[in-house]
């Protein structure tokens, strides 16, 4: 079989009991029908995602910092445009 990109002869290799065709020149990989499904089935299962702990350490530090800051009065739009 020829590589569709550069017409090089494809090399057949067996990985995990599945025959795959690859091009040694462009490193492209071609799979026959059903081979991708077999690879996915034999791949390692994904580890379950653990939700991060719901502690409020960082939130408390941020709040205590904000409590000591004085409130800054917002200027009006006209005050920003004109010198009042």
pTM value > 0.75:
no
Question: Which pair of tokens denotes residue 73?
Answer: 């009065």
Q: How do residues 1-32 score in pLDDT, each as one tens digit?
A: 889 889 999 999 888 788 889 999 998 998 88
Q: How do residues 32-66 score in pLDDT, each as one tens digit?
A: 898 888 888 887 676 666 766 666 665 555 555 55
The answer to whether residues 35 and 20 touch, using CB atoms and an 8 Å cutoff, is yes
Extents of the domains making up the chain? 11-42
């Amino acid at each position: 079989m020829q590589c569709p990109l550069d017409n090089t002869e494809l090399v057949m290799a067996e990985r995990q009991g599945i025959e795959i065709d690859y091009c040694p020149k462009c490193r492209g990989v071609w799979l026959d029908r059903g081979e991708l499904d077999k690879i996915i089935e034999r791949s390692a299962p994904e580890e379950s995602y653990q939700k991060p702990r719901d502690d409020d350490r960082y939130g408390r530090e941020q709040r205590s910092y904000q409590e000591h800051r004085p409130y800054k009065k917002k200027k009006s739009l006209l005050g920003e445009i004109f010198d009042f």
